[in-house]
Chains A and B, each alone.
Chain A
Amino acid sequence: MVNLEDEVVRRQRERAKILAWLLGAFVILLFFITIAKTGINW
């Protein structure tokens, strides 16, 4: 037995968590793109 309201909250939480991870990864990617584009060698 799964309550519909609980299911909505569970899915919203799951999606929010994944979106947060993706946004975090995107910020890191942008950082590395900027480093590569400006031609800085590590």
Chain B
Amino acid sequence: MPPPVSIRRCDALTAFGGVEDTWRRLSAGETALRPTPVLGPGGGDLVPLALLDPMEAAVPPRWWPRLSELVSPVASPEWGRPRTPVFLTSSNFGIDNLCAYSQTPDPAFLAWGLNSSCAERIRGELAWGPNVTVLSHACVSAHLGLHLAAQNLHAGLADRALVVSFDFLSPFVAAGFNALKILNGHFPAPYTPRDPGAVGLGDGAAWAELDLAASPFTLDHIVLGNEFHHFTANRPDGLGFENLLGPIASAADPNSLWIKGHGTGTTEAGRLEATACARRFPGSPLVSWKGGLGHTLGSCALVELALALASFRHGSAPGTVGTSGPTFTPEVATSAVNLARRRSALLLCNAFGGAHGALFLRHEA
């Protein structure tokens, strides 16, 4: 069993603002989602989006000042060197600029518009060296970055590792989820038997520095799984969730565990996740924060990890935001969870293609 990985530093940004503001407003049951035209300035149906700024095309992208300020503590040539790898992850990188280019063919948009060019641009702007691994796997992107960072530390290839993840919304992404009909006129109510299900989307970014020295917060297990069953659906028998949770079940005491689920608000995936969690960890409260933050897509694993750390620090985890009616299981918590006796958290994320990720986070008070 590899040693736990320590979270040395971690920070995040959501439509609510920084980690403390976000934790406070989620704890108050607030949502940052607002009915917003799906195409931004281009109009369209009103859908729930949580934005830091209007979705307007710009060079540099509208999100760059936000992201560069967030990661300024790690914008240094000491990162990206042979012993200090960076794992840069996003689902959509600068797709807003590719979208803008398709409508106004100004070459300046292209410098940020492709995943590869955007990543190289960010690397240069933040003065990182060449040791930057760039990953894009939809909504488990940040989770993969954490996994590979831990793997590099365990292999002795790194003294410390940096994971950075971001996803800022654009008409491209909003129109895509709208076309799939899961981003619609309804606000998300995770883990509720409601038809149709609905997601909200939100801006999000986060970073974490990891090492193997002692720390109050450790990642004891980082588990992956890929069903490859369907592009946008999970196996109906829930086997993907079961396989993910199995390796962690023996390490977790349900009495001291709480679970931050993926919980986007889609009905079937919510049912499968809630049911699998209740079966493996009966009595462990399950929360989702995407009804407040919106789904921050590729960054969600890292954004929500930062909020889980804040929850431990405050001794209270925000409950499921946006859900007030019946839930799939009694474990779904719709109000704040007292963490006085809870020392570990299971943090889950899923993605297109039936991808799954689980982090087992331990807090030594």
B and A form one assembly: no
Residues of B participating in the A interface, judged by any CB pair closer than 8 Å: none
Residues of A participating in the B interface, judged by any CB pair closer than 8 Å: none
